[in-house]
Homo-oligomer: A and B are copies of this chain.
């Protein structure tokens, strides 16, 4: 299946899985109506407790990305994929503005912050899809 966890990470297992499902939806590997693995199956596959998977699905349901039905399973909601473009852009815009605010607080000139951003961009996209495991 698509999911894997790192038991040594400081990030909680359920959070790792929530992020992975979100990423799968963001990259269209999971689409509206797609069914996710049954809680017990995925738990067995990842060798973790079924309650941890239940927490993952219920968190995603709380955020509106999934819906779950007893006896049927858990599915990617229409909402999840429809709303995503606008929400994504808003979230990124907010992050950028916070960054620029802090740069100004630090008396960075426009040229300085542009230079730093350019540097990180170059570094980030040097190897296209390599997993950047920077810090933990």
Contacts and interface: CB of A to CB of B under 8 A. Distances in A.
A83 interface: no
Contacts of A134: 97
Contact of A116 (B84, B92, B108): B92
Nearest to A105: B23
A26 B124 contact: no
Number of copies: 2
Nearest to A134: B97
A92 B95 CA distance: 12
Given A26-B105, A117-B117, A99 B92 contact: yes
Interface string A84-116: 100011011101111111111111101001101
Nearest to A109: B125
A8 interface: no
Contacts of A103: 92
A98 B104 CA distance: 18
Contacts of A99: 92, 95-96, 99
7 smallest beta-carbon distances between A and B, as pairs: A88-B106, A96-B120, A110-B125, A100-B124, A95-B99, A27-B107, A26-B107
8 contacts: A26-B106, A26-B107, A84-B106, A92-B99, A92-B102, A92-B103, A92-B108, A93-B116
Contacts of A95: 95, 98-99, 102
